[in-house]
Amino acid sequence: MSEELHYGEMEMRRHAHDIPRSERALLTTYWALSGYGLRASRALGWLLGGMATTVLLMMLWGLPKDDPKPQSTGTLTGRRLTLTTIGAEPVNPDGPYRERLSAERFEKSLRVVINSVAFRSSGQNLTTAGNYTEMASRLVEPALLGLAVVAVRGRVKR
């Protein structure tokens, strides 16, 4: 019963004309993403959709063409060895999109996305587009996971 009252109260607030436009936009977003924290399936659907989109973006533009190979150079003087390792810059992928949609690139992209949902950096060398995509997913996807957890907790708590 209280769930229906909460939903109704939020709907009335969202449709009220005397609240600021920014609050109405926030309530509309909250309703669309998770049904005011009451629809776990809606939040999980958005999360899975966001993850799938991120995986696709990573496969097409986020992963470098090849894994950059670090190069080490060194000097030997007497009994002392000095090594310097230089990491190569990631090269943007080129060629047809079909070639970028491989199982290997899918697996790497999936690792990046799963790590980003848990607020962790993947440690994977990414292109500039890939770095920005990972940063955006590290903000959005954990929030969607949080909305799903809130909705599930509300169901279990009753």
CA distance 116 to 121: 6
What is the percent of the chain where pLDDT is above 70? 94
pLDDT digits (tens, 9 = 90+) for 74-114: 777 777 777 777 776 787 888 888 888 999 999 999 988 98
pLDDT-based confidence at 156, cuts 50/70/90? confident
pLDDT-based confidence at 5, cuts 50/70/90? confident
pLDDT digits (tens, 9 = 90+) for 27-77: 999 889 988 888 889 999 999 999 999 999 999 999 888 776 666 777 777
How crowded is residue 126: how many other Cβ atoms within 10 Å of its Cβ?
A: 22
How high is the pLDDT of residue 158? Answer: 60
pLDDT-based confidence at 136, cuts 50/70/90? very high
Query: What helix, strand, coil percent values describe the chain, rounded to 5?
Result: 65, 10, 30
How high is the pLDDT of residue 1? Answer: 53
Using the predicted structure, report yes or no on whether residue 155 has a pLDDT greater than 80.
no
Which one, of 129, 141, 135, lies nearest residue 62 by Cα? 129
Per-position DSSP letters for 82-134, written without gaps between them = EEEEEPPPPPPP-S-HHHHS-HHHHHHHHHHHHHHHTT--------HHHHHHH
For range 115-120, the mean pLDDT? 79
By the 10 Å C-beta count (0-12 exposed, 13-18 middle, 19+ buried), 2 is classed as exposed
How high is the pLDDT of residue 78? Answer: 76
Q: Residue 86 pairs with which residues in a beta bridge?
A: 71
Which one, of 143, 119, 145, lies nearest residue 44 by Cα? 145
Which one, of 1, 6, 21, 11, lies nearest residue 150 by Cα? 6
Helix (H) / strand (E) element for 74: namely strand 71-77
Q: What is the pTM of this model?
A: 0.76
- Tokens, residue 148: 């799903």
